[in-house]
Amino acid sequence: MDSDSKQNNSGTVRVWADGCYDMVHFGHANSLRQAKSLGDYLIVGVHTDEEIANHKGPPVYTEQERYKIVRAIKWVDEVVEGAPYVTTIETLDKYNCDFSIHGDDITTTSEGVDTYHIVKKAGKYREVSRTQGISTTDLVGRMLLMTKQHHTYLGSSESYLPGFDCNVTNFSQNPLPYTRVTNLLSTSQRITQFSDGKEPKVVNRYKGGNYPIMNLQERVLNVLACKYVSEVVIGAPYCVTAELLDHFKVNVVVHGSTTILPDENGADPYMEAKKRGIFQSIDSGNDTHTDTIIRRIINNRIEYEKRNKRKEIKLA
């Protein structure tokens, strides 16, 4: 830790991170994981819809949705709503933060000005590694193109998560008790080997089209980044069987308010849980789902295509 880091009265190193956090994915989470490792308390500023529209074009998620999503990431201690697009010393002082962090990709205003030029000049800027292979631009592109290429992983584990040691269980706070004797630690490379590079047919069978938008590895890391999740069963069956319930000693099985599609054989996938009286349906109070997001992108297709093209030019 730098000698000039502990500047606040409590002696706690407070770290500031800010951004749009639109179409949040495990790359955002990995950046915030690295940010938290640089201090003790992580404050994340999220920009408003208006600010994003002024500098980048229309966001996919609303600001209220983005505030909630960022709050759910396990390394985030506090969220500041409506953070300014350009990070200033005044902002750091207001929230008693020692320094600001961002990934090693370029972020500029609509005029092409580095949004971190002020804190960089003041020596209050730290950089973390950007996660290669995933970006909001990429996800928007998948939805615009409606392809399935993302179901096949094309890189090595070493280049998959820079700044991350490729051990998937680092995203989890608990050990793997269900592996019992072996305590096998699944890595991204191991997931790739076992998945054989094939598209996740279970999800695609029930959803159709180019679903899922993210491949298995991407979805595993996304879910593990959520502070409410203790562990993830990779490649869980669509039907919640008696064997699965007994193996994991499950007390409650929940499902959201979306329609429950029948299993391949026409059976209710939650039949066993309902028979045991442990099934619960939960209403999240939010009617946003994947189709909603895709419709938003399609409705703003021209704007997003322009934005993606600008991003490609900037990174070239």
Q: Is 165 helix (H, G, I), strand (E, B) or coil?
A: coil
Question: How buried is residue 3: exposed, middle or buried, by Cβ count under 10 Å (0-12/13-18/19+)?
Answer: exposed
pLDDT at position 200 is 47
The single-letter DSSP state of residue 13 is: -
- Which of 102-106, 187-191, 254-258 reaches the highest mean pLDDT? 254-258
- Give pLDDT, residue 134: 65
- Give 266's Cβ-side CA count (13 Å radius): 0
pLDDT in tens, 94-119: 999 999 999 887 788 888 899 999 99
Q: Find, among 269, 278, 138, the residue nearest to 202 by Cα.
A: 269
Intra-chain end-to-end CA distance of the chain, in Å? 33
Q: Domains plus CATH for the chain?
A: 14-128 (3.40.50.620), 132-231 (no CATH), 237-310 (3.40.50.620)
Reported as a single tens digit per residue, the pLDDT across 264-294 is 899 999 999 999 999 999 988 887 777 788 7
Tell how many helices (H) and how many strands (E) occur in the chain: 14, 7
CB neighbour list of residue 30: distance below 8 Å, 6 or more residues apart: 131, 161, 163, 164, 221, 225
Q: Which residue has the tokens 């299993």?
A: 263
Confidence of residue 120 (pLDDT cuts 50, 70, 90): very high
Strands, E assignment, the chain: 14-19, 41-46, 78-81, 99-103, 125-128, 253-255, 279-281
- Across the strands, what pairs with 41? 14
Question: What was the pLDDT predicted at 146?
Answer: 52
Lowest mean pLDDT among 24-28, 38-42, 137-141, 204-208: 204-208
Task: Return the closest-CA partner of residue 106 out of 127, 76, 82, 79.
Answer: 127
Structure tokens at 29: 């989470």
pTM of the shown model:
0.70
Residue 133 phi, psi dihedral angles, 5° rounding = 90, 0
- How much is the average pLDDT of 21-32? 88
